Structures are given as C-alpha cells and as structure tokens.
C-alpha cells in the first residue's frame, strides 16, 4: 500500500459487521476482524471467508493484529470498534470499567494507541455519556469520575484530538431511530467535525440544506422476501395486539382492557411506550433490541400479530437481504440488534475519508443530532468536569 493514502481498517468487536460493511461501502478496506462471540464469528466467516479473524481481544497485542492483517502500522487508517455496551447501557447494571466487559474497552484503547493510526473510531450506547468510571468506589484524587472522561483523557494523552456526539441514525438514512455515541480521535491534533446529516425529520431543514426525509418502516421493508422467521408473543398478549393499529401501544387499548393487558406493569411509573407496541408504517422503527418480544420493549409488526422477523431486523439495520447471520433465531436477533446500522457506518466512513483527503465537510449550525441536549463533546465535557 506504500505510495498511496492508507485506507485499511482494523475492526474490533466486529459482531455482524454492520460498521465494517458501512465503512467498506464508503471506500475503506477492512483488513482484519476481531470477535469473541462464536455465533458472530460464524457470521463473519460466512460472509467474509478470506478475512483474517481473531478472537478474544484481551489476549491480543497490536503486533498480533497487524501480523494477522499483513499490515504495517503506516498502512492502517482506522482502528475501529464498538466495545461491549452492556457495561454502559442505561438498561443494565452499569458497572462500567468495574466489569470485565468494561475493561475490554481499556484493552481496545491500549491496542489502538499502540497501532497509532490516523483515526481511532469508537461507537457505543448513550449510557456511556453518564456511566461512572467505577461505581460504588472512590477514585484517587484528581481521577475523572466518569468512564467517558477517562476515555477522552487516555486518547489525548496518546496524542489524539477527540470529538464526539450522540447521533440519531435516522438522520443518516437508517429507517430506525437509534441513538449512539460516536467518538473520533484524530492523530493530526485537529478535532474532526460532526457527521454531516443526509436526512432530517424537519421539512424546514430539508429545504434549507437539501436533505432527504427520514426513511420509514414501510420504505425499509417493502417487498420482503418469504419466508420470514420470527419468535412469537406470549399467547395471552395476542388478543390485545389485535385491538391495536399501526403506531399504537397499550395506551390505545379500550380502557377496560388496559389493566389486564399490562398486569403488574400497569401501576408502575414511566412512559411505558414499549408495552404492547405496534410499529408505525410511516415512521422509522424504534431502536431494535436483542429480542422483539420482551414485554417492556415489544416490537410488533404494524398489522401482523407477531414480533418483527429477523429479515425485517436485517432490513432496518441496512444489511443486504443475502447477508448471512448465523446461529439460532435468538442468536440472529441478538447479533442484528447489537449491530451498527450499515448506512450509519457508511456516513462515518465518508467523513473519515473527507478529513483524510482535506475535503470540506458541511456543517449545519444547531442541527438536532439526537433528541437529547448537551450531548455534543464540548458542552458535555464542560458539564461533566464541573460536576467532577
């Protein structure tokens, strides 16, 4: 690769390869994958049989990964990965770096900084923005109190400028409102701009900035090939789904049925919008979870009395219909639910290539990248360090 600009990617926590496939579509070359889960390994082998595939990141060094890929450090443009998110998820126990999965995040940073590519790319859940560094324990004096501040300090100590934001993937051509943190660390010392949106919910923004409308569930699933493979809802819930139309949930049931339908959850607090939820045809899907039949996060088809099928998951995440996802049905849902949407990965790849090649990147002031406030790097970090 000498004599040309590097475009090789070393992929970690590759999963079903959503990020990898998106980066490839942008023009990058994934040269090595690292994945510990055996079902995801089978998915990678089925779709990329010639791609070097390594296992447990904890047992690897930068030299191991470079050797497997057949690359020198100067050949690598990006080290990319989405370290396991459960340690940071707002739905989990949020043990952060106190968990083994959290410590794998630190191992990934160690390898990435040893390779020292022009870009280090990290994708993670929104919970990373509020995860403590080590819950239930006092850190040393001066130690940052949040996991993300520790990540930022580590990258900067390695000589990288860092930018991040929380992004709704619907703004990048994904038929799904899925919000994820993307961190881009640049060896050049210049902060990368935010990902330029290609789509918007706002008609005014679309008109002013030549953006497209959000893609909908109908757009993504039109012409689904048969057969479809899916789990089933509990039999006791099916009669209630039959009372609901597209875009409705338990609150739209006749009042006399709500308490029975919800059971113990009826008297709990919160919006509970995921209970007995049918997707709307003409909106993006909510965030795909690792099972569409869980009571509190149900993902029912707009009209069929069933959860979404794995084939619909694949479409909503932007994978091609012929992308093999290995394992039992539950394994396929889990891999697809955890994946980075392919069009979102492509948007990231385009930005990295634009920055590498010195092309200007469009900036839309005050664009609503997500539904949350103060999630962009500068505002978030200022508030976080004031608290710490």
Distance, in Å, from the CA atom of 384 to the CA atom of 64, rounded to the nearest integer, reads: 36
The string of pLDDT tens digits covering residues 36-66 is 999 999 999 999 999 999 999 999 999 999 9
pLDDT category, 3, cuts 50, 70, 90?
A: very low
Phi, psi of 215 (to 5 degrees): -80, 145
The candidate with the shortest Cα–Cα distance to 64, out of 53, 80, 51, is 53
Task: Spell 161-194 as b/e; 16+ CB within 10 A means b.
Answer: ebbbbbbbbbbbbbbbbbbbbbbbbbeeeebbbb
Domains, the chain, ranges and CATH? 8-211+340-387 (3.40.50.150), 223-338 (3.90.120.10)
177 has catalytic annotation: no
The string of pLDDT tens digits covering residues 238-282 is 999 999 999 999 999 999 999 999 999 999 988 899 999 999 999
- Tokens 């998951």 sit on residue: 313
pLDDT category, 372, cuts 50, 70, 90?
A: very high
pLDDT category, 84, cuts 50, 70, 90?
A: confident
Catalytic residue among 7, 32, 34, 85: 85
Distance, in Å, from the CA atom of 329 to the CA atom of 351, rounded to the nearest integer, reads: 35
- Tokens 């092309």 sit on residue: 359
pLDDT at 364 over 50: yes
Residue 1 confidence (pLDDT): 38
Residue 138 confidence (pLDDT): 47
Distance, in Å, from the CA atom of 286 to the CA atom of 250, rounded to the nearest integer, reads: 16
- Three-class SS state of 92: coil
């Amino acid at each position: 690769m000498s004599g040309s600009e590097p475009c090789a990617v070393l992929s970690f926590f590759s999963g079903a390869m959503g990020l990898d496939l998106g980066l490839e579509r942008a023009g990058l070359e994934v040269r090595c994958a690292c994945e510990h889960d055996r079902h995801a390994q089978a998915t990678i082998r089925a779709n990329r049989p010639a791609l070097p595939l390594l296992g447990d990141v904890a047992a690897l060094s930068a030299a191991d990964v470079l050797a497997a890929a057949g690359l020198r450090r100067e050949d690598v443009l990006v080290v990319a990965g989405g370290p396991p998110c459960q340690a940071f998820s707002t739905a989990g126990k949020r043990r952060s770096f106190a968990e083994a999965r959290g410590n794998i995040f630190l191992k990934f940073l160690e390898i990435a900084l040893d390779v020292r590519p022009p870009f280090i790319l990290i994708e993670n859940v929104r919970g990373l923005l509020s995860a403590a560094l080590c819950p239930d324990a006092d850190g040393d004096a001066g130690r940052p109190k949040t996991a993300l501040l520790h990540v930022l300090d580590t990258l900067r100590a390695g000589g990288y400028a860092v930018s991040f934001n929380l992004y709704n993937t619907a703004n990048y051509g994904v038929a799904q409102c899925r919000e994820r943190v993307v961190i881009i660390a640049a060896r050049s010392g210049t902060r990368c701009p935010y990902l330029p949106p290609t789509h918007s919910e706002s008609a005014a923004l679309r008109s002013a900035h030549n953006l497209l409308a959000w893609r909908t569930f109908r757009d993504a699933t039109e012409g689904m090939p048969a057969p479809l493979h899916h789990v089933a809802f509990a039999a006791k819930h099916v009669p209630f789904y039959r009372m609901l139309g597209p875009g409705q949930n338990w609150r739209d049931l006749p009042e006399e049925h709500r308490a029975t339908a919800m059971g113990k959850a009826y008297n709990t607090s919160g919006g509970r919008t995921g209970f007995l939820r049918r997707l709307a045809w003409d909106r993006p899907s909510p965030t795909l979870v690792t099972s569409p039949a869980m009571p509190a996060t149900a993902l029912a088809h707009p009209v069929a009395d069933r959860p979404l099928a794995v084939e619909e998951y694949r479409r909503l995440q932007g994978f091609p219909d012929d992308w093999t996802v290995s394992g039992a049905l539950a394994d396929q849902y889990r891999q697809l639910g955890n994946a980075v949407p392919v069009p979102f990965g492509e948007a990231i790849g385009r930005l990295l290539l634009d920055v590498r090649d010195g092309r200007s990147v469009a900036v839309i002031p005050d664009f609503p990248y997500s539904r949350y406030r103060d999630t962009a790097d500068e505002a978030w970090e200022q508030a976080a360090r004031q608290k710490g």
